[in-house]
Amino acid sequence: MIRIEPRTAPGRWMTLGVPVLSAVIALALAAIPLALAGADITVAYGEMVKGVFGSVFAFSEMLTRATPLMFTGLAAALAFRAKLWNIGAEGQLYLGAMAAVAIGAGAVDIPGIFLVPLIVILGAAAGAAGMAVPALLKTRFGADEVVTTLLLNFIILIFVQMMLEGALKDPMSLGWPQSAPVLDQGMLPQLMPRMRVHSGLILALVLAGIAQFMLARSVWGFRLRAVGENAAAARHAGIGVNRSLFGVAILSGGLAGLAGVSEVAGLKGYLTADLSPGFGYTGIVVAMLAGLSPVGVVISALFIASVFVGADSMSRAMGVSSYLADLVVSMSLLCVLIGGFVARYRITRTKTAEGVA
C-alpha cells in the first residue's frame, strides 16, 4: 500500500535545491522542441547566453526586463506568505502607471527632486488602492480574493483604455491611444549612459532587502508568517488575522504599482494599453520559483528576464520562435510545484494485513 506522508522538516539543501533543479530541468525539456524545430541545441543555448552576457548593452537589457518582475514578484511573494492569493498584480501595475502619468505629465510643476518621489509614492498608493477592495471583501465578507483580484485586472485595463481615450490622452499623439509623456524632471535617473536600465532597479533591490529583513527579524514578519502557516492558531494567539491580511494586501498592491511606475517613469515615458506583456502574471512565477523569499525573488527575476532576453536574441540569430521563453517559464513553474511537493511530502510503501499474513 502506497501512502503520502509529510516530511518532518525538509532539509535546507532540498529547499534551496528545488528551484535551481526546476530551472535546469525546464531548460533541458525546452531542448526537445528546439531539436524538433531543427535547431542545433548547443548553438541555440549559446545564442541565449550571448544575448544576455555578450555585451554591456545586452546585460543592461536583461536588468531592465528584470526590474518590473522584481516588483511584481515581491508583491506576489509577500501576499502568498500570508496565504493571500493576489492574482491582480497586472491591474495594480496599470494603476501605478496611470498615477505616474497623471502626476508626472504636467499636473504639478515642481523640481525633479520632489517630483520623482511624489510619482513613486502616488504610484504605490494607486496600486495599493487596487488591492484594498479585494482585501476588504475578503476580510469583511469572506470573498475569494483569487476571483476578485483576477476579475479586477480586466476592469482596470478597460478603465485605463477609457482614460487613454479621454482625460489622459496626449493631444499630440495623432489619434494613437497613449498618454501625455512624463516630464523630463519626473523620469527616474538612468544608471548607465545610453542604456535603458534605470534607478527603479536600485529601488527594487532595496525593497527586497527590507522585505527579507522584516520577514525574518521583525514582529510584523512573525505575525505574517504565523497567519500564513495557520490562521486559526494565529487568531487564538491574539494576532489580528484580518488586520495582518489587509496590511499585507496594501503592501502587495503598492509593490505591484511600483512596477507600473518603473515602466512609465523609468523606461517608456508614457502609458499605453499594452505597457505590460504580462509582468503581473509572470511575477507569480517569479515568486513561486523563489520559494516566496524576497531575496530569492531577485535571483528568480534575473533568471526569467535572462530567459526572455536570451530567447529574443536566439530568435533573431537562428530563426527559432521566441515563444520558447514562455515554454521555459511555464515549465519552470510546473517543475517547482512538483519539486515543492516532493520537498514537503514523501511516498512510503506499507504492508497490508493480507501481505503480512
Task: Collapse the DSSP code of 87 into the 3-class scheme (helix H, G, I; strand E, B; otherwise coil) and give the result.
Answer: coil
* pLDDT, tens only, 159-187: 999 999 988 888 887 778 899 999 999 99
Rounded to an integer, what distance in angstroms lies between the CA atom of residue 52 and that of residue 303? 10
pLDDT of residue 287: 92
Q: Is the dihedral angle over the CA atoms 67, 72, 74, 77 positive or is it negative?
A: negative
User: Crossing angle of helices 294-318/200-217, nearest 10°?
Assistant: 140
Question: Which pLDDT band, with edges at 50, 70 and 90, does 147 fall under?
Answer: very high
What letter represents residue 33's amino acid?
Answer: P
Rounded to an integer, what distance in angstroms lies between the CA atom of residue 56 and that of residue 196? 11
Residues of the chain with pLDDT > 90, as a percent, come to: 59
Check pLDDT > 90 for residue 218.
Answer: yes
End-to-end CA, the chain: 14
Residues of the chain with pLDDT > 70, as a percent, come to: 94
Check pLDDT > 70 for residue 354.
Answer: no
Check pLDDT > 70 for residue 279.
Answer: yes
Burial 226-249 (b: 16+ CB within 10 A, else e): bbbeebeebeeeebebeebbbbbb
Task: Collapse the DSSP code of 183 into the 3-class scheme (helix H, G, I; strand E, B; otherwise coil) and give the result.
Answer: coil
Task: Collapse the DSSP code of 181 into the 3-class scheme (helix H, G, I; strand E, B; otherwise coil) and give the result.
Answer: coil
| DSSP track, 101-127 | HHHHTTTS---HHHHHHHHHHHHHHHH
Task: Collapse the DSSP code of 42 into the 3-class scheme (helix H, G, I; strand E, B; otherwise coil) and give the result.
Answer: helix
* DSSP H/E element including 250: helix 241-263
Local structure of residue 347 (DSSP, 8 states): E
Average pLDDT over residues 127-140: 95
* pLDDT, tens only, 83-121: 999 999 999 999 999 999 999 988 888 888 999 999 999
Local structure of residue 193 (DSSP, 8 states): T
What does the block give as the cell for 340? 515543492
Least confident window among 4-18, 148-162, 204-218, 244-258 = 4-18
342 vs 246, more confident: 246
Question: Which pLDDT band, with edges at 50, 70 and 90, does 333 fall under?
Answer: confident
**Cβ contact 77:285 at 8 Å:** no
Check pLDDT > 50 for residue 357.
Answer: no
Q: Report CA-CA distances (Å) from 140 to 80, 230, 251.
A: 19, 19, 18
pLDDT of residue 356: 46
Q: Report CA-CA distances (Å) from 122 to 253, 254, 261, 327, 356.
A: 12, 9, 9, 36, 69
Rounded to an integer, what distance in angstroms lies between the CA atom of residue 90 and that of residue 259? 9
Check pLDDT > 50 for residue 342.
Answer: yes
